Amino acid sequence: MEPGSPRDAEDARLRPTYAVVSRSRLRDNLAAVKALVAPARVMVILKANAYGHGLEAVARCLASQADAFGVALVEEGITLRQLGIENPILVMGGVWTRQIPLFLEHGLTFTAPSLARLRDIEEAAAARNATARVHLKIDTGMERIGVHHYHAEGLLEAAARSAHVEVDGIYSHLSNADADDLADARHQLERFEETLRFYERRSLPRPQRHIANSAALLRMPESHLDLVRAGILTYGVYPFPGAPRAVEVKPALAWKSRVVFFKVVEPGSPVSYGGTWSSDHRVRVVTVPVGYGDGYFRSMSNRAEVILRGRRYPQVGRICMDQVMVNIEWGTGYNGDEVVLIGEQGEARVTVEELAEWAGTIPYEILTAINDRVPRLYEG
């Protein structure tokens, strides 16, 4: 399927609201990131349905390029293994003790955020006469999961002594790499580097180190270390407004729908729930079958814009669960016309960043909120 082309007869059975994901842009984005951070390796983050782009399709697309994959949940890791993905897969979220056998069964890499959890992993691996691969998680200031940097030595010592644990990596997470002032991020990096001196003092081989997310890999070359975690950049979206364009990436996802109804609305006639919008003159209004039930946030009501026939038009009235209305004034629109929610049509463009601004949130939430009611189609 080519960008902007009509779907074929098979696709036409799907609902008229759908997302199109470009495999070629995904590959190009990852190649650009790898070139920027070399010789550091790249872990592609696939959590939250690959940032809304489709876990299975994105993993298959990027498996030959990615040095590793990162997920949040053990279930995501299992899905990848069942697809035949052989790349190292780090599960970055917390792990329940009862889930430990699943990691061992499917060859997934643990995050060990505490001495107690490391012991649980060691015991489970020993009982199976297996070796567990782990990345140790150091909290340098996020206060989420991970052992505090000032208490980390006990975890590192225990891991080094563990007979059934292979320490494949050690990492932390930057909480303010998108801030105007990078002082806090640099302080976290310093704490992490101090923790890593444990290996030098003990003359032990150092596992691969990683701390850089998308924001840091753009702004802090010193944070690249051995491995970077490329999340939203892989999908062609910059992590925050004003992020430096140290690497050129392009959005991989477009979100589209179709006009399903056309009407003329009289002056003073309110549109949608609560009557939050009306016109002082006759206008043409079209209805589009997408709503907050798909992830098109209600908070964007009367703020969002869409593209129809190459022109941007305002969404009007409250966004419904399944439908939105668009004021085209006296422009032209017919049932079946393509409506672009995210993406390009002709010279007009609507970006993920704009939706985030209209919704009062961040691009990450916009992408991950596009739910499974919206079919994904893949091109390239």
Domain boundaries, the chain: 39-235, 253-379
**Topology of domain 253-379, per CATH?**
Lyase, Ornithine Decarboxylase; Chain A, domain 1 (2.40.37)
- pLDDT tops 90 at residue 2: no
Picking from 360, 272, 255, the residue whose alpha carbon sits closest to that of residue 320 is 272
Please, which pLDDT band fits residue 13 given cuts at 50, 70 and 90?
A: low
Which residues neighbour 150 within 8 Å (Cβ) at sequence distance 6 or greater?
none
Alpha carbons 137 and 113: distance in angstroms, whole number: 5
HEC states along 132-154?
Answer: EEEEEEEECCCCCCCEEHHHHHH
11 confidence band (pLDDT: 50, 70, 90): low
Going by pLDDT thresholds of 50, 70 and 90, the confidence category of residue 6 is very low
Q: What is the pTM of this model?
A: 0.94
pLDDT of residue 9: 38
| Residue pLDDT, tens place only, 127-170 | 999 999 999 999 999 999 999 999 999 999 999 999 999 999 99
For residues 196 and 152, is the Cβ–Cβ distance under 8 A? Answer: no
Tokens coding 105: 């069964």
Confidence of residue 10 (pLDDT cuts 50, 70, 90): very low
Greatest Cα-to-Cα distance within the chain, rounded to the nearest angstrom: 80
Q: How confident is the model over 214-231, as a mean pLDDT?
A: 98
pLDDT of 280 strictly over 70 = yes
* Residue 5 pLDDT: 40
Q: Tell me the catalytic residues.
A: 47, 273
- Write out pLDDT tens, residues 293-349: 999 999 999 999 999 999 999 999 999 999 999 999 999 999 999 999 999 999 999
CB 232 within 8 A of CB 251: no
- pLDDT tens-digit readout, 22-81: 999 999 999 999 999 999 999 999 999 999 999 999 999 999 999 999 999 999 999 999
φ and ψ of 69, to 5 deg: -120, 150
What residues contact residue 257 under an 8 Å CB cut-off, 6+ apart? 16, 17, 18, 288, 289, 290, 338, 339, 341
- Residue 42: count other Cβ atoms within 10 Å of its Cβ: 26
Query: 10 Å Cβ neighbour count for 286?
Result: 24
CATH number of 39-235: 3.20.20.10
Categorize the per-residue pLDDT at 4 as very low, low, confident or very high, splitting at 50, 70 and 90.
very low
- 243: exposed, middle or buried (Cβ count in 10 Å: 0-12, 13-18, 19+): middle
Strand ranges in the chain using DSSP code E only, listed in sequence order? 18-22, 41-45, 68-71, 89-91, 110-112, 132-139, 147-148, 165-171, 208-212, 227-230, 253-258, 261-265, 283-288, 305-308, 311-316, 324-329, 338-345, 348-350, 376-379
Q: Is 360 helix (H, G, I), strand (E, B) or coil?
A: coil
Tell which phi-psi region holds residue 121, choosing left (phi > 0), alpha (psi between -120 and 50) or beta: alpha
